[in-house]
Amino acid sequence: MFVGAVTGVFGLSVALLLLYLVRKDHLHVSHGLWWTIAILLFATLGFAPSIFDQLAHHLGVNYAPVLGISLAIGALVIKALMSDLESTKLKVSQQRLIQKVSLLEADLQELSEKPPIDD
Amino acid sequence: MTQYDPLKRALTDQSAAIIMPAFNEQASITQLVERIKECSNRPIWVIDDFSTDATAKYATDAGARVIRLPEQLGAWAATQTGLRAAHRENMACVVTMDADGQHDPADIERLMAPIISGTADVVIGSCPERGSRLRHLAWWLMRLASGLSCNDLTSGYRALNDKAIALMAGPSANHLEYQDIGVLLMFERAQLRIVEVPVQMPNRADGKSRIFSSWLAVIHYMAQTLILGASKRRRPTVKFRKSSTRS
């Protein structure tokens, strides 16, 4: 029971921290959503671990904590993969912008070196 | 009315350009630009990959057009910047070459010839004799993983026509780290005609490679290249022939 309360309180604290980070613009709301769901689930299961025992029983898992650990690892792998997909998209976008800036700067340089147009 | 023919445009000097990515090449860039000017009348574009020395100034003074990247992006992305500029300016042909003196400017017009005659979309200046046994082993592995049949997979000395320029200027090419098999696989997938022209490539003046700077760098490069080759290789086309008679 004590362990459940600790994990529950921990989950709620992290959920509050996430809300704070979103509020202060340190974390984009799209990332905050994922973590909020994960942490609230974590807190719920922390306060009521018997839900897990029942779920494990229904799924035929003999030792309920293994189910929790497996699900947590699965969720983290998916999250890590999503982060890499996002990072790839950002890298390409950033690289293209840098290239574009260099081309525009070259244009600007060439224009500034040209003599003014006569009327 | 005269019909627009992009290949014929390559015959004029200003519809083709020479693109050179450069990083800290102040020691050799002036001489190289001068040498290119002796061999070709095409405009020379140096893409300065955020050099910390006076590469950009020396290249400008020597008569090249310099495009300076505000951050270091690597040799391929620098080359691609030049290709984007070429695409924007409707160039009919470009030649890409290294600024480290490995590529002889005397071969520029030879590389462009198949593009101008319309017999190729991409021409690779090929020198498979160069390099150590280890490099040849790496090429063999790269060929095995990618299914490519080119003799020289890593040569950056290439001529591209407008179709190939447009392909390389697109965002898909920004996913590539190097100019080797990823680029060649894109050409192959787009069914561009690739021709190899034999050229001579002396060793680098400083003897150092940016990619093969350490064993760790070699392992990183090979792992990335092999994964890319295996994941993007073309599936073999299976043709089913219909039998005319029944047994």
pLDDT on residue B243: 44
For chains A and B, count residue pairs whose Cβ atoms are closer than 8 Å.
41
pLDDT(B245) > 90 = no
Secondary structure (DSSP) of chain B: -PPP-HHHHTTSGGGEEEEEEESS-TTTHHHHHHHHHHH--S-EEEEE-S-SSSHHHHHHHHT-EEEE-SS---HHHHHHHHHHHHHHTT-SEEEE--SSS-S-GGGHHHHHHHHHTTS-SEEEEE-TT-S-HHHHHHHHHHHHHH----S-SS---EEEEHHHHHHHHSGGGGG-SSSSHHHHHHHHHTT--EEEEE---PPPSS---STTSSHHHHHHHHHHHHHHHHHHPPPPPP-PPPPSS--
Residue B227 is assigned to a structural domain of this protein: no
Residue B159 contacts residue B192 (beta carbons within 8 Å)? no
Chain A residues with CB under 8 Å of B80 CB are 99
Across chain B, what does the average pLDDT equal?
87
pLDDT(B191) > 50 = yes
Q: Centre a 10 Å sphere on the Cβ of residue B169 and count the other Cβ atoms it contains.
A: 20
Residue A21 contacts residue A32 (beta carbons within 8 Å)? yes
Residue for token digits 């990515």? B21
CA-based nearest residue to B172, from B190, B146, B155, B156: B190
Which residue from B65, B80, B175 is facing A99, i.e. has the nearest CB?
Answer: B80
Residue B168 is assigned to a structural domain of this protein: yes
Residue B142 is assigned to a structural domain of this protein: no
Residue B110 is assigned to a structural domain of this protein: yes
* Cβ within 8 Å, pair A99-B65: no
User: Regarding predicted confidence, which is higher, A54 or B5?
Assistant: A54
How many structural domains does chain B have? 1
Residue B228 is assigned to a structural domain of this protein: no
Residue B121 contacts residue B160 (beta carbons within 8 Å)? yes
- Which tokens belong to B116? 């101008």
Provide mean pLDDT across the span A12-25. Answer: 83
Residue for token digits 């020198």? B127
ipTM of this complex prediction, to 2 decimal places? 0.84
Is B236 in the A-facing interface, judged by CB distances under 8 Å? no
Which residue from A95, A96, A105 is facing B68, i.e. has the nearest CB?
Answer: A105
Alpha-carbon gap, residue B231 to B201, rounded angstroms: 30
Residue B16 is assigned to a structural domain of this protein: yes
User: Parallel, antiparallel, or unpaired: how do β-strands B44-48 and B65-68 relate?
Assistant: parallel
Which range is least confidently modeled, A31-40, B125-134, B148-157, B222-231? Answer: A31-40
Residue B241 is assigned to a structural domain of this protein: no
pLDDT(B244) > 60 = no
Which range is least confidently modeled, A39-43, A78-82, A96-100? Answer: A39-43
Q: Mind listing the pLDDT tens digit for each residue in B20-33? A: 999 999 999 999 99
Domain that holds residue B183: 7-130+152-203
Chain A closest CA to B80's CA: distance in Å? 8
- Residue B86: give its domain's CATH number: 3.90.550.10
Q: Mind listing the pLDDT tens digit for each residue in A47-62? A: 777 888 888 889 888 8
Residue B213 is assigned to a structural domain of this protein: no
